[in-house]
Chains A and B, each alone.
Chain A
């Protein structure tokens, strides 16, 4: 079953705090795990991504932690800012037929309060 479970559904964080969003997957054939950020009225945009051969990837204030044995990965946003308020989607790629078919989680609506 190709499925990605994401939690929490919504998250409120104070400015300067750490935002943590978690995802779990079932299919061990998934080989690429991106996070997308979506602002209201816009399409999602790639934020950061990780391959399963590394346990952590950091880009600025955004970090992905990956636990292959538990089939879980998470997004950490350090020093959260009001401008980070958006919906975040985790995804996993099922490399079926040689293409980037992404299976998305249900999304997390993040609100960062000043």
Chain B
């Protein structure tokens, strides 16, 4: 079956513009995560969705960042008024409800803010 799909794979935008990043999780996976990977840095947790529960937004770095998950499947991460420090690879992952279920990552969207 298909893995986690992210689009676009690359995005170049001008400072101040808004961007939307899309994630299609593995079918049947109820948990969906967004992480950010900056050059030479680890994986920074951004937000988590689990079924119909309220999302954990504790990792969002500012109110310019938001995410939604429609119908318990596709998720969109939106960054408003992009800044150069937003440049990074944004990774989406999904997992099942089973304890210790591994996170399955997509290949990420590389965002460059000029």
Residue interface bits B93-110, CB-to-A below 8 A is 1, else 0: 101000111111111100
CB distance B93 to A99 under 8 Å? Answer: no
Q: Is A101 a contact partner of B56 (Cβ separation < 8 A)? A: yes
- Contacts A42-B107, A100-B31 given; does A89 touch B42 at CB 8 Å: yes
Q: Which of A59-114 contact B (CB under 8 A)?
A: 89, 91, 96-97, 99-107
Closest A residue, CB atoms, query B48? A101
Q: List, in ascending order, chain B residues with CB within 8 A of A102's CB.
A: 33, 43, 45, 103
Interface size on A, residues (CB 8 A): 25
Query: CB distance B102 to A46 under 8 Å?
Result: yes
Least CB distance from B69 to A in Å reads: 14
Could you tell me how many residues of chain B have their Cβ less than 8 Å away from some Cβ of chain A? 26
- Decide if B107 touches A41 in the complex (CB within 8 Å): yes
Q: Are A43 and B91 touching (Cβ within 8 A)?
A: yes
B70 contacts which chain A residues (CB < 8 A)? none
Are the C-beta atoms of B56 and A104 separated by less than 8 Å? no
Complex contact A43–B4 (CB within 8 A): yes
Q: How far apart sit A105 and B45, CA to CA, in the bound complex (Å)?
A: 11
CA distance A46 to B96 in the complex (A): 14
Within 8 Å CB of A44, what residues of B?
43, 91, 103, 105
A43/B108 in contact, CB under 8 A: yes
B43, A104: Cβ atoms closer than 8 Å: yes
In the assembled complex, the Cα of A9 lies from the Cα of B41 at a distance in Å of 10
A-side contacts of B108, CB under 8 Å? 43
Residue A34 lies at the interface, judged by CB distance under 8 Å to chain B: yes
Given A32-B100, A49-B102, 6 more pairs with CB closer than 8 A: A89-B43, A99-B31, A100-B100, A101-B56, A102-B43, A104-B45
A sample of 17 cross-chain residue pairs with beta-carbon separation below 8 angstroms, ordered by A number, consists of: A9-B40, A42-B107, A43-B106, A43-B107, A45-B105, A49-B100, A89-B43, A96-B56, A97-B56, A99-B31, A99-B48, A100-B100, A102-B103, A103-B45, A104-B35, A106-B41, A107-B41
List the interface of chain B (C-beta within 8 A of A): 4, 31, 33, 35, 40-45, 48, 50, 56, 91, 93, 95, 99-108
Name the 4 nearest CB pairs between A and B, nearest first: A43-B105, A46-B102, A104-B43, A106-B42
